[in-house]
Structure 1
Amino acid sequence: MDMTKQLEKLAVFKKLHSNFFILPNAWDAASAKTFEKCGFKAIGTTSAGIAVSHGYADRNMPFDRMLDTVRRIVQTVDIPVTVDMEDGYGQTPDEVAESVKQVIKAGATGINIEDSRMDRQAPLLDIPVQQKKIAVIRELGNAMAYPLFINARIDSYWIKSMPPARRLEEAIKRAHAYQEAGADCIFVPGIQDISDIQTLRHEISCPINVLAGPGMPSANELEALGIQRISTGSGPFRAALSLLHRMGQEILEKGTFEHMTSRVLSYDDLSEK
């Protein structure tokens, strides 16, 4: 990808965080293009959506196949793309930096990196370990003269091993540490309570990213609370599979095709670039 054009997209992506926007998460070129046609200003990827659509469980997707999907998405859309890097695709900070380097070369304007291995019973990764990863990624961006946008995800509201009474305190502590290490934005999926969101916003100076889902305040409410970014995560992918499942059940059980023919894109629309 042309680096000048990529830097322009990066500038656009960073500027989006000066206000409020919604970031849909795509799993392939078609979903990314659809979101772009809807009018979204940037796109994220969903690790779960990409993995499952290729026949893998989330977090079991080979890096090379994930990277190939990122390339296809970047080549398909004209808007910025930020990539879900799970916990970094590497065992050491240097290995993580090498994976991030490949994602930058594929055209990414940003990444999302999380501090758990998505084992709901296991503790979060140690703060110094995650700080080192973020710092090494920031150093890589500086060395490449490419200030990659780093979205640091904090999973204190998701893992079961974290007592509910400690979730907010832990999120704030980690947010400060990750911002100090070089993160541009703090992502706290699972946070829903307005009081918690208000406290997080009061304590954190950088942009905050939350996850859309059941029980969340509306987009208007979140904007009023000072949140800059809402991600959809794997929600759109799961919704698409749910529709496919209902369609299959209807065909087999009723012999009708309402889900397949009602309010769907025409073949001509599908073929449109």
Structure 2
Amino acid sequence: MMDASERAARFAALHESGCFALPNAWDAGSARILAHAGAVAIATTSAGIAWSLGRRDYAITLAESLDNARILIAATDLPVSADLEDGFGPSPEDCAMTVRAAAEAGLAGCTIEDTTRDPASPIHDFDHSVARIRAAVQAARAVGRPFVLTARSENFLNGRPDLDDTIRRLVAFAEAGADCLYAPFLPDMDAIAQVVAAVSPKPVNVLGGPRAGFVPMATLAAAGVRRVSAGGLITRAAYAHTLELGRAMVAGDLAKLAGGPAGSEVSAAMRGEGD
């Protein structure tokens, strides 16, 4: 199994050209399934971790997030990047500490959001947001190996559909040294293209696709997107299917239980066969 430096170098290289998928796992089994599916790297999902613990989104600690990351790192030979929410604290020092802890856990990178977790004022002020990312970048550069620091602008997930402010923030994050830029749920392909152009040549991550309706990855690649992640979308689909089958069973419709893959196929994925 590759060490942290080798995985980190491979992850950084994936951002240099083309467009790659970064599916999000939430436990060892999902990590192995995604590796079996052909993923070249995986990310954690804070929502998925919380749901797997029977909690709402944003109800995990930094320690729990990093414990989960270590599980994913041990489960496969893939580079792993972590969704580290708002850096688990409001200050630049909190963000720097979180990045240092992420690197010590063996992660190849992480994301830091500009959210506050305060519903009344959900986004950090511009200058403070930039200071937080600058501190995170400085911590990443001190790691001594590649570490992809992704800076996220969360306007569109927090009732602030302001593309100009989102681009202003992403440009400032890029100038502060962020390696990859990310604004979840941009409204359409035109907005995605504007973000890509604004921060070029820095790579841009897109969550699934535009909110107006997901498109083929080839369309995102043609627009200059370098990375496409799933956030909690795969976890949501897995739990939705569990809910569907549970309701069917409770209602007596046992035939629906017969539609899944053979246990031997799942076991093969868990053993790494066919990867």
Tell me the TM-score normalized by structure 2: 0.90
**What pairs with 1:209-248 in structure 2 (closer than 5 Å)?**
209-212=205-208, 215-248=213-246
- How many residue pairs end up in the alignment? 266
Q: Which residue of 2 aligns with 1:150?
A: 149
For residues 127-171 of structure 1, give each alpha carbon's deviation from its aligned partner in whole angstroms, at most 9, with x where no partner exists: 2222222222222233331331011111122221x2x4xx21111
Q: How far is the alpha carbon of 1:58 from its aligned partner? A: 1.3
Answer yes or no: is the 8 Å Cα contact 2:12–2:147 preserved in 1. Answer: no
**What pairs with 1:185-264 in structure 2 (closer than 5 Å)?**
185-205=180-200, 206-212=202-208, 215-258=213-256, 260-264=257-261
Q: Which amino acid aligns with 2:177?
A: G
Output the CA distance in 2 between the equivalents of 1:60 and 1:83. 16
Q: Which amino acid aligns with 1:233?
A: G
Judged with a 3 Å threshold, the aligned counterparts in structure 2 of structure 1 residues 128 and 212 are, in CA distance, closer, same or farther, namely: same
Answer yes or no: is the 8 Å Cα contact 1:192–1:216 preserved in 2. Answer: no
Paired residue secondary structure (1:157): helix
Output the CA distance in 2 between the equivalents of 1:148 and 1:53. 27
Q: Which residue of 1 aligns with 2:61?
A: 62
When the two chains are superposed, the root-mean-square deviation of aligned CA atoms in Å is 2.0
Paired residue secondary structure (1:59): coil
Q: Which residue of 2 aligns with 1:266?
A: 263
Paired residue secondary structure (1:151): strand
Answer yes or no: is the 8 Å Cα contact 1:21–1:229 preserved in 2. Answer: yes
Tell me the TM-score normalized by structure 1: 0.90
Q: Does 1:176 align with 2:174?
A: no
Unaligned runs of 5+ in 2: none
Question: Which segments of structure 1 move beyond 3 Å, counting only runs of 4 or more?
Answer: 117-121
RCO comparison, higher one (Cα < 8 Å, 6+): 2
Output the CA distance in 2 between the equivalents of 1:200 and 1:144. 28
Q: How far is the alpha carbon of 1:198 from its aligned partner? A: 1.9
Answer yes or no: is the 8 Å Cα contact 2:110–2:148 preserved in 1. Answer: yes
Q: Which amino acid aligns with 2:203?
A: P
Percent of paired sites with the same residue: 33
Judged with a 3 Å threshold, the aligned counterparts in structure 2 of structure 1 residues 170 and 52 are, in CA distance, closer, same or farther, namely: same
Q: Does 1:38 align with 2:37?
A: yes
Q: Which residue of 1 aligns with 2:75?
A: 76
Output the CA distance in 2 between the equivalents of 1:84 and 1:250. 34
Answer yes or no: is the 8 Å Cα contact 1:84–1:112 preserved in 2. Answer: yes
Q: How far is the alpha carbon of 1:268 from its aligned partner? A: 6.6
